Chain A
Amino acid sequence: MPLVKDGAIIADSWIEADADGPVPETGDVLVSFDRLEHEADDLVRQGRRVGVVLPNTLEAAALAPYLDRLDLIVLELPKFSDGRAFSQAHQLSRQLGFKAEIRARGHIVPDQVAFLRQCGVETFALDDRFELDEVIAAATSMSLTYQSGYVPGHGYAPAEVFGARASRLAAATADRSPSTCASGGSNT
Chain B
Amino acid sequence: MTTEKGKALTANRLDDGLVVFLTRSGDWSPRIDDAAVAQEAEAASALEARGHAAEAGNLVTDAYLIDVERVDGRVRPSHIRERIRTLGPTVRTDLGKQAEGAGGGFQATAP
| Chain A directly contacts chain B within the complex, with at least one CB pair under 8 Å | no
Residues in chain B within 8 A of chain A (CB atoms) = none
